Amino acid sequence: MPIDIPEVVIDRLPVYARALKLLERDSREVVSSYELGEQLGVTPAQIRKDLSYFGRFGKQGRGYNVHRLLSELRQILGLEQQWTLALVGVGNLGRAILTYGGFAPEGFSIVEAFDANPEIVGQCVGELVVRDVKELPDILHRSPVDIGIVAVPAAAAQGVIDTLVSCGTKAILNYAPIAARVHRDIRMRYIDPVLALQSMTFYLKSAKVSAR
């Protein structure tokens, strides 16, 4: 894969794949870039440009074969294989993540869960027994995972992330409200609902001011 593909393009590919999956479920065989763009709020030109980084998938005037394009995107994104995950932090958020049923059908399997709270360690959540976070280095060195999910308080997050990286984890999904320091080879994604809400209130406030 070319190394100069913009990250924003990679971020849009799963959105395209999800839309195509829904179309396939509805027995659609062909979709145009215009139809796909209307559904996703993206211009047809943007869709064609994004896909052009990876090859030619459609014919002008005939659109894209839904099944073929979905299959190609799944291969590009690595969704044709199973990925293992370890969750660190089994509080309210962590429990919700562990019991969420949307990961496994898409090829993501949480195989380990860790926490520092003695009252939580040893509990069964879903199909997993929560282990003491002190065991994390030994366990993940023996059985590395592809992705780490960090759902711990901010004060503990950097240490947890450092430990995951030291165990060979190359991708981390971070729910903690910190800007983690990692080597550039580590793929980090941040999920912070508060920041998302704060950016939304900017527009809400602006709309109220305009309405006066």
Parts of the chain belonging to CATH 3.40.50.720: 83-194
Rounded Cα–Cα distance for residues 32 and 43 (Å): 12
Contacts with 134 (C-beta within 8 Å, 6 or more apart), sequence order: 116
Express each pLDDT in 87-114 by its tens digit. 999 999 999 999 999 999 999 999 999 9
pLDDT at 163 over 90: yes
pLDDT of residue 55: 82
What does the radius of gyration of the chain's CA atoms come to, in whole angstroms? 20
Class of domain 7-76 (CATH, top level): mainly alpha
Express each pLDDT in 108-137 by its tens digit. 999 999 999 999 999 999 889 999 999 999
Identify whether the C-beta of residue 112 lies closer than 8 Å to the C-beta of residue 87: yes
Return mean pLDDT, the chain. 92
pLDDT at 2 over 60: no
- What band does 8 get if pLDDT is binned at 50, 70 and 90? very high
Q: What are 83's two structure tokens? A: 């990925």
pTM of the full predicted structure? Answer: 0.87
- What band does 211 get if pLDDT is binned at 50, 70 and 90? low
**Backbone torsions φ then ψ of 114, nearest 5 degrees:** -130, 150
Instruction: From residue 147, give the alpha-carbon distance in Å to each of 120, 132, 186.
Output: 22, 19, 10
pLDDT of residue 1: 46
pLDDT of residue 196: 87
CA atoms in the 13 A half-sphere facing the CB of 76: 24
Contacts with 167 (C-beta within 8 Å, 6 or more apart), sequence order: 136, 137, 140, 141, 144
**Which residues make beta-bridge pairs with 148?**
86, 172
Over range 31-45, report the average pLDDT. 93
**Which residues make beta-bridge pairs with 187?**
171
pLDDT of residue 135: 97
Crossing angle of helices 66-77 and 7-25, rounded to 10°: 140
pLDDT of residue 95: 96
Parts of the chain belonging to CATH 1.10.10.10: 7-76
Instruction: Please tell me the CATH code under which domain 83-194 is placed.
Output: 3.40.50.720
- What band does 3 get if pLDDT is binned at 50, 70 and 90? low
CB burial string 6-23: b at 16+ within 10 A, e below: eeeeeebbeebbebbeeb
pLDDT of residue 33: 92
Express each pLDDT in 43-74 by its tens digit. 999 999 999 999 877 666 688 999 999 999 99
Distance of CA 180 to the CA centre of its chain: 17
Instruction: From residue 5, give the alpha-carbon distance in Å to each of 8, 12, 17.
Output: 8, 12, 18
Identify whether the C-beta of residue 132 lies closer than 8 Å to the C-beta of residue 112: no
CA angle 195, 170, 124 (to 5 degrees): 75
Rounded Cα–Cα distance for residues 12 and 8 (Å): 6
